[in-house]
Amino acid sequence: MINAEAEERTLAFRAGAAFERYREGESDAMGELVALLTPILWHTVRAQRLDIASAEDVLQTSWMALVKHANAIADPRSVLQWLIVTSRREAWRVSRGEQRMMPQDLGDEDLGSGGQPALEELVVRDATDEVLWRHVAELPERCRQLLRVIAFADRPDYAELARSLGMPMGSIGPTRGRCLAKLRSALATDSQWEM
């Protein structure tokens, strides 16, 4: 059982509190909620192999759906689960309509201007990320879902994650450990991995 102080630090609790303030008329609370949950939602959506533009559209659609259905959510603490499920379903819907991922053009902002990383740094980082995500994609579906969500959560709420991912709460930590061990093992044998 989680004590009250620990519960107040969980992502689900903080999201629920911000959502409740939004429903009570504090419009700035929606900005707080967006900043808090977008990293997790982004990785939930990108797990469906959508390109960046499609993923952004899915997130926007999900946030608009929350605004539209804000009063239909009975318990504000379930807003995290509601958004994860809504984003995943919308991503599935969009991904069924896409035949393949389209390459993304580098904009001027990606070429080292305006304090952005130099093109060389982007290429090295992208190559490293590509190796990492290729190995993540080879993990079992359960591992991919769990690692994508938990990797980007500050103090993840295991009870909320368990409900969202359909896993027993007590299995999240051990499953995460096994998944990370599989990923480490795969990366250790890959000559392209230089971390």
Average pLDDT score, the chain: 77
Please report the pLDDT score of residue 21 as a whole number. 93
When pLDDT is averaged across residues 140-148 and rounded to a whole number, the result is 81
Please report the pLDDT score of residue 22 as a whole number. 93
Assess contact for 84 and 37: CB atoms under 8 A. Answer: no
Q: 1-100: which CATH topology?
A: Rna Polymerase Sigma Factor; Chain: A (1.10.1740)
Q: 111-195: which CATH topology?
A: Arc Repressor Mutant, subunit A (1.10.10)
pLDDT category at 119 given cuts 50, 70, 90 is low
**105 or 21, higher pLDDT:** 21
CA–CA distances in Å: residue 162 to residues 12, 52, 170: 12, 27, 9
**166 or 75, higher pLDDT:** 75
Q: Give the Cα separation of 66 and 78 in Å (integer).
A: 12
Please report the pLDDT score of residue 118 as a whole number. 55
The pTM (predicted TM-score) of the whole model is 0.54
- pLDDT tens track for 33-83: 999 898 888 888 888 888 888 889 999 999 999 999 898 888 888 899 899
Assess contact for 139 and 194: CB atoms under 8 A. Answer: no
Q: Give the Cα separation of 160 and 10 in Å (integer).
A: 9
For CATH 1.10.1740, the residue range(s) in the chain are 1-100
DSSP 82-150: HHHHHHHHHHHHHHHH-SSPPPPPPPGGGTT-TTPPPHHHHHHHHHHHHHHHHHHHTS-HHHHHHHHHH
**pLDDT value at 103 more than 90:** no
pLDDT category at 18 given cuts 50, 70, 90 is very high
Is the alpha carbon torsion for 179, 85, 59, 47 positive or negative? positive
Please report the pLDDT score of residue 125 as a whole number. 58
Please report the pLDDT score of residue 147 as a whole number. 78
For CATH 1.10.10, the residue range(s) in the chain are 111-195
**pLDDT value at 130 more than 70:** yes
